[in-house]
Amino acid sequence: MKRRHFIKNVSLTGVGLVAGNAMLNCAENNSEKNENETIMTKTNSKFPIAICTWGFANANAKAGEALSKGVKALDAAIIGVSVEEENLKNTTVGKGGTPDREGNVTLDACVMDSNGDCGAVVCVENITNVALLAKQVMTETPHVILASKGAEEFAYRQGFEKDNLLTEDSKKVWEEWLKSPEYKPLINIENHDTIGMLCLDNDGDIAGACTTSGLSYKMKGRVGDSPIIGSGLFVDNEIGGAVATGMGEEVIKTVGSFLIVELMRSGMSPQKACEEAVHRITNKNDKYKGFQIAYIAINKAGDTGSYSIHKGFTYMRYQNGKNENIHSSYFNKI
């Protein structure tokens, strides 16, 4: 199936879901063409697995179901995260995201595939499905990152439609904030919901996607870790993958997701690697007391792990048809 074809045919609000359904049908048709015994063996194994940050049960289930039908890891991750990009109640991802301090909703996203290819878009306005757009950057351009207006214009050329990302609810909250604006971006221990997702498909291949509207009331033009390959997301199909959520500046300073994959390469479990990446931050000084960071990771064997600075972080894991919400262990016990 040519992605260009389905993007041309999608509606204003349904890029991701229409994309998702098209990919599912495609996988079903392909499955029919494949040998049945291969599919039966694989569905009985530990794979596929989908994990994502926070309690995004629907998003993770969508990805898991897609994987179970034979969709490859990257497309499944994009199907999953598009659920949150289109969820107006999620105020830190996609449409309905909290704006910057000037009232513009600007989105960041990246994807990384099992073959080591990646794509990202930063500071994009008016486009809801930015993870899918990041994939388009990867597959349809010679580049890895497109920013702002360039990314938006590329999106229109690819068939994405213009959308107003600032909902009435987000606008009201922003107007309230404007009455006594704090210059500091609002980020605290409880308030994070970027979605980062890692999928391990029936073939044992790993890929991921990460998408966010970034920090609430950030400075105009601010970009966090989420679209930065190695920080918000990193995948090495020989080893595993990791994604981050939380205070992006601190994740970037320690190249957190790349670090986790490298630690797994040297033999650490996903759990230990996530712990070590958090300790790199908490060992520096005590500023960690004022912000949250959390990582999740998966290795090639399908083992998963997570760790956060503070209490309260959870992640979803879909495996063998079961979609669980797992409470992460954390560093700051006081």
Min dist CB 225 to ligand SD4, Å, is 5
∠ CA 115-306-281 to the nearest 5 degrees?
95
Among the listed ranges 83-91, 118-126, 243-251, 258-266, the one in contact with ligand SD4 (CB under 6 A) is: 243-251
Query: Residue 224, interface with ligand SD4 (CB under 6 A)?
Result: yes
The three-class DSSP label of residue 232 is coil
Active site residue 194: yes
Min dist CB 310 to ligand SD4, Å, is 13
CB nearer to ligand SD4: pick between 108 and 205: 108
Pick one of 98, 129, 170, 194: the residue that binds ligand SD4 (CB under 6 A).
194
Query: Residue 212, interface with ligand SD4 (CB under 6 A)?
Result: yes
Query: Residue 214, interface with ligand SD4 (CB under 6 A)?
Result: yes
For residue 122, list its beta bridge partners. Answer: 147
Pick one of 86, 100, 113, 193: the residue that binds ligand SD4 (CB under 6 A).
193
Of 109, 116, 163, 153, nearest in space to 132 by CA: 109
Q: Which residue has the tokens 């320690």?
A: 254
Min dist CB 233 to ligand SD4, Å, is 11
Number of residues lying near ligand SD4 (CB under 6 A)? 14
Query: Residue 100, interface with ligand SD4 (CB under 6 A)?
Result: no
Pick one of 192, 206, 217, 230: the residue that binds ligand SD4 (CB under 6 A).
192
Q: Which residue has the tokens 């500091």?
A: 184
For residue 198, list its beta bridge partners. Answer: 51, 208
Binding mask 299-328 for ligand SD4 (x = CB under 6 A): ------------------------------
Spatial distance between the Cα atoms of 66 and 84, rounded to a whole number of angstroms:
16
Q: Using an 8 Å Cβ cutoff, are 213 and 87 in contact?
A: no
Of the residues 91, 194, 212, 254, only one is catalytic, namely 194
Spatial distance between the Cα atoms of 108 and 124, rounded to a whole number of angstroms:
7
CB nearer to ligand SD4: pick between 65 and 250: 250
Spatial distance between the Cα atoms of 95 and 240, rounded to a whole number of angstroms:
30
Query: Residue 248, interface with ligand SD4 (CB under 6 A)?
Result: yes
Spatial distance between the Cα atoms of 268 and 265, rounded to a whole number of angstroms:
7
Residue 281, token pair as written in the block = 């931050």
Among the listed ranges 115-123, 136-144, 199-207, 221-229, the one in contact with ligand SD4 (CB under 6 A) is: 221-229
Residue 58, CA distances (Å) to 30, 33, 38, 46, 64 in order: 25, 29, 28, 21, 10
CB nearer to ligand SD4: pick between 58 and 269: 58
Report DSSP state, residue 93: S
Tell me the catalytic residues.
194
Q: Which residues of this chain interact with ligand SD4, rule CB under 6 A?
A: 92, 192-194, 212, 214-215, 224-226, 245-248
